[in-house]
Amino acid sequence: MAGEVGKAAADEGLLVAGVFTFPGHGYGHDPRARERAARDEDRTLGQAAQVLRDLGLDVRVVSGGSTPTAGQWQPGAVNELRPGVYVFNDATQLAIGTCGVEDLALVAAATVISVPGLDRFVLDVGSKVLGSDRSPWVTGHGYLPQFPQGSITGLWEHHAVVRLPEGVRGPRLGSVVAVVPNHICTPVNLADELLVVKDHKVIDRWQVTARGANT
């Protein structure tokens, strides 16, 4: 298939620079699955690149990688890695064990706007801030470092409902709660800028230069 696609592209005058894939089967709780996915990727990309070279195409880029498999990379056919989530990590990476809580570098600052009961509270962030992705490895719509036993059970455009287990004391009305999105890519794309915080002080602002550039 790689040969057919590559040849058709070259016949149309396009520059065929290389091959790439995404090893989605590296996601999961089993570290051995990540290792296997990384080796599968290296082998299949190497084969695809060789097919194109045999057709006379100058294949230079052999691109693979994901956040779960990037740490399993070994010198071989793959000469470019494209892990994206690892920059900040997210609730999914925490759930499958590719990062720890201390590696979570981006959160949404949410305000508690309602406390209707001892077992739940409402935040002023929704899918337009957190994104709506929910992978099979997470139990809610985000991770709350201050309330790791809690779960965001409801998510709407502008607010979220958090449920707490019995005996866990929730935040007060007006409190600010950190929320780690399930999939960090969408929230970054939804923001105009990111605030860089150190010792509870904003020390920089990063403009999201790709904002609005999806097309």
How does pLDDT run along the chain (215 residues), one tens digit per residue? 788 999 999 999 999 999 999 988 989 888 899 999 999 999 999 999 999 999 999 999 999 989 999 988 999 999 999 999 999 999 999 999 999 999 999 999 999 999 999 999 999 999 999 999 988 899 899 999 999 999 999 999 999 999 999 999 999 999 999 999 999 999 999 999 999 999 989 999 999 998 877 76
Q: Are residues 120 and 156 in the same domain?
A: yes
What per-residue confidence (pLDDT) applies to 210?
86
Same domain (yes/no): 201, 150:
yes
For residues 22 and 31, give the distance between their C-alpha atoms in angstroms, rounded to a whole number.
17
The tokens of 199 are what?
């010792």
Domain harbouring 199, CATH code: 2.40.37.20
Pair (66, 118) in one structural domain: no
Q: What is each CA distance from 85 to 4, 29, 39, in whole angstroms? A: 32, 17, 20
114 and 197 share a domain? yes
Angle, CA 122 vertex, CA 120 and CA 125 arms, to 5°: 140
Q: Is residue 78 part of a domain?
A: yes
Q: Is residue 92 part of a domain?
A: no
Q: Which two tokens stand for residue 63?
A: 């691109």
The verdict on residue 53 lying in a domain is: yes
Number of domains the chain is built from: 2
Asked whether residue 213 is domain-assigned, the answer is: no
Say whether both 66 and 128 belong to one domain.
Answer: no
pLDDT at position 211 is: 84
Residues 197, 131 share a domain: yes
Q: Examine the domain organization and report whether 27 and 119 are in the same domain.
A: no
Are residues 153 and 198 located together in one domain of the fold?
A: yes
Are residues 193 and 145 part of one domain?
yes
Alpha-carbon torsion angle 161, 167, 170, 172, nearest 10: 130
Does 69 share its domain with 8?
yes
Position 127 in a domain:
yes
Query: Is residue 74 included in any domain, yes or no?
Result: yes
CATH number of the domain where residue 79 is located: 3.20.20.10
Provide the residue range defining the domain that includes 139: 102-207
Same-domain status, 34 and 71: yes
Tokens of 65: 């990688």
Structure tokens at 210: 């790709």
What residues pair up with 162 in beta bridges, in sequence order? Answer: 121, 152
Residues whose CB is less than 8 angstroms from the CB of residue 15 and which lie 6 or more positions away in sequence, other chains included = none
In a domain, residue 91? The reply is no
Residue 215: the pLDDT is 67
pTM for this entry: 0.88
Residue 97 lies in a domain: no
